[in-house]
Structure 1
Amino acid sequence: MPAITVDNVLVLPRLPRLDESTSFRPVRKLTTAPSGFEGEGFPVRRAFAGVPMDQLDPFIHLDQMGEVDYAPGEPKGTSWHPHRGFETVTYMIDGIMDHQDSHGGGGTISNGDTQWMTAGRGLLHIEAPPEHLVTSGGLFHGTQLWVNLPRSAKMNPPRYQDIRGRESALITTPDGGALIRVIAGDVAGHQGPGSTFTPITVTHVTVQPGAQVDLPWRPEFNALVYVLAGRGTVGTDRRPIHTGQLAVHGEGDALRFAAAAGQDGNTPALDLFIMGGRPIREPVAHYGPFVMNTRAELVQAFEDFQAGKLGVIPAKRVPHTDGKRRRP
């Protein structure tokens, strides 16, 4: 699981040691993601299945894509599809993916990169492996997180943020037992590169076997800890957790988690995708690729899509060479 890493974590800034007055968040719910298929048939885990929307707010949906090692000819993507009313945050841990939209945008993300798409008032979008990966096969592993937009921003113009893995803020623990990649938001004063409408924090944390992390967390945010790989515990009561499970936390100032001392050969460390944000607390009307506030707005989104108002499929595919977005 390469993502972005460093040879020696001890050169990184370190989290502060938390004092005895710290209020650690309890684990309120522990769920296991069901497996399924998305797009043209690539495997996913539905990380938020079974969790009420009010405990996810401001998030809507999270898929873990893979981890899968494709044989030649097997890599798959999605067909053209619409979005309106939210943001998609696609984090590529291992492998490579091209993306393109109906407004002339496009680019490539690979190990540790993030493609942050604000759908806003709407567009058509496609994600697919590049031709050379289809020919050769190879590893594919990532996540896609859907972040709700407040009512005031749902009809904003679409935009992209292409975040390179090296732009993430990298920090470690006081004993150097973990690598924390801050993709968006703030962790102990270290700011990630992602720009958000709703205040959120998104991190990818790798914890070495036997190590424990006490992670400061903004008290007004919710806290969701998803296991990408490995085994460990969450909470001060050390509840066991493993690959494909999500821990929904209650209120407090910090999160505590630890990696099991023994991991299997395929997962040498505990890898976590940790999310939190300030709840929007607005009505949510969600169906398929549209996330609005009311049923009437959903109906309007479908009508606009059918009328071609969200864009039309381009005649030619955008060439992907530098990983940067393109706009007319």
Structure 2
Amino acid sequence: MASKLARQVARVITAHRQREGGGFVVRRPLPSGSLDYADPFLMLDHLGPVHYAPGEAVGAPDHPHRGFETVTYILEGGFEHRDSHGNHGVLKPGWVQWMTAGSGVVHSEMPTDELLKNGGTFHGFQIWVSLPAKDKMIRPRYQDVPPEDIPWFESADKSTKIKVIAGQVEGVQATIDTHTPIYYLDLRTTGKYSLAIPEGMDVMVYNYHPAPILVGQEKTRVSEGQLAVVNTHGRSVDFEVANAAEEDPEKREARVLVLAGTPIREKVARHGPFVMNTEEEIYQAMADVRAGSFGSIPGSTERMRKTNEANAKRNQAGRA
């Protein structure tokens, strides 16, 4: 039975598809035509799942950021990141990277050499989180977290498992440090579960799996590629798998991302890879990039060459 304190779904948004980075296609429910900003979340991109033949994998060559955080969560495949501060790492399945761009950084997100050479499936997510004005110009920071350092919660009846990337679930606390109070959860269920969310936090639920899920007190059906925006009234969000009688385990288990955050409630000015509070700050960011103050990463020409070759090979084969 749904809790009397459970929240309801205010609306459901279907993600649209668009091309990003070096040419990969994403499903993007936020921002969309009906939801430009969900304070403090600026963007949610569902990357894949896409299967690459050998030589076809693409990423996002060198590009700048300032004033916000990017959070990348890998399910399958992997990518290699480098930045203008000398940071370098390889993210594989289950890894999370929480990058605080802060005052400014140039970084690249490229497919691993293994994925590019041998082909394979890539699947993951990237969200953008705004920073409050007091933190927009802080020193850039990376938190690369392997799967063994990300805790899981399991319900008493074993029907629900939740990967706690940020926030906490029934005493299971995330290891990642965030600048604003945020919940970022990978929830998987074959039954029912009522998730407690602190009052005052806005909540979104994105279904990234073929199995539909019922969300909220009124059991609103949310299908794959859809984002449910949950209202702010109530202390919990109810989840129930819609295909409980399905024999195929893949079709019976629902899998969703749960994003919740305390609104910053500040003016947002955004332009491409910059998110600040005023237009003047955006112009300054662009001027700083032109002046070279964000720095650069050795090997940019080679990364662009690999990207162009992968796109040409994919286009020749007639694949998106």
Structure-2-length-normalised TM-score: 0.88
- Residue pairs, 1:130-169, within 5 angstroms: 130-169=112-151
Q: Determine if contact 1:58/1:147 at 8 Å carries over to the other structure.
A: yes
Greater Cα offset, 93-102 or 257-266: 257-266
Distance (Å, rounded) in 1 between the aligned partners of 2:207 and 2:36: 20
Once the 2 structures are TM-superposed, how far is the Cα of residue 174 of structure 1 from its aligned partner?
2.8
Distance (Å, rounded) in 2 between the aligned partners of 1:254 and 1:194: 23
Once the 2 structures are TM-superposed, how far is the Cα of residue 315 of structure 1 from its aligned partner?
4.5
Q: Partner amino acid for 2:282?
A: L
Structure 1 residues 29, 314: closer, same or farther in 2, change over 3 A?
same
Structure 1 residues 266, 71: closer, same or farther in 2, change over 3 A?
farther
- Residue pairs, 1:1-328, within 5 angstroms: 22-48=4-30, 49-53=32-36, 56-208=38-190, 211-229=191-209, 230-251=211-232, 252-261=234-243, 262=246, 267=251, 269-315=253-299
Once the 2 structures are TM-superposed, how far is the Cα of residue 79 of structure 1 from its aligned partner?
1.5
Q: Percent identity?
A: 41
The runs of 5 or more residues in structure 2 that have no matched partner are 302-320
Q: Determine if contact 2:7/2:235 at 8 Å carries over to the other structure.
A: yes
Q: Determine if contact 2:61/2:300 at 8 Å carries over to the other structure.
A: no
Distance (Å, rounded) in 2 between the aligned partners of 1:181 and 1:300: 39
Distance (Å, rounded) in 1 between the aligned partners of 2:163 and 2:96: 12
Once the 2 structures are TM-superposed, how far is the Cα of residue 267 of structure 1 from its aligned partner?
4.9
Greater Cα offset, 121-130 or 172-181: 172-181
Distance (Å, rounded) in 1 between the aligned partners of 2:28 and 2:259: 15
Once the 2 structures are TM-superposed, how far is the Cα of residue 188 of structure 1 from its aligned partner?
2.3
Q: Partner amino acid for 1:79?
A: P
Deviations 1:154-184 (A, max 9, x none): 0001010011112122112231111100001
The runs of 5 or more residues in structure 1 that have no matched partner are 1-17, 318-328
Distance (Å, rounded) in 1 between the aligned partners of 2:117 and 2:254: 32
Q: Determine if contact 2:159/2:192 at 8 Å carries over to the other structure.
A: yes
Q: Determine if contact 2:44/2:125 at 8 Å carries over to the other structure.
A: yes
**Equivalent pairs, count:** 296
Structure 1 residues 281, 274: closer, same or farther in 2, change over 3 A?
same
Deviations 1:42-64 (A, max 9, x none): 1210121234356x101100100
SS state at 2:198 partner: coil
SS state at 2:45 partner: strand
Structure-1-length-normalised TM-score: 0.86
Distance (Å, rounded) in 2 between the aligned partners of 1:39 and 1:308: 21
Deviations 1:127-162 (A, max 9, x none): 011122111111100000101000000000101001
Once the 2 structures are TM-superposed, how far is the Cα of residue 215 of structure 1 from its aligned partner?
0.7
Greater Cα offset, 212-221 or 261-270: 261-270
Distance (Å, rounded) in 1 between the aligned partners of 2:300 and 2:227: 40
SS state at 1:303 partner: helix
Structure in which a larger fraction of residues adopt helix: 2
Q: Determine if contact 1:27/1:234 at 8 Å carries over to the other structure.
A: yes
SS state at 1:146 partner: strand
Q: Determine if contact 2:164/2:185 at 8 Å carries over to the other structure.
A: yes
SS state at 1:152 partner: helix
Once the 2 structures are TM-superposed, how far is the Cα of residue 106 of structure 1 from its aligned partner?
1.1
SS state at 2:128 partner: strand
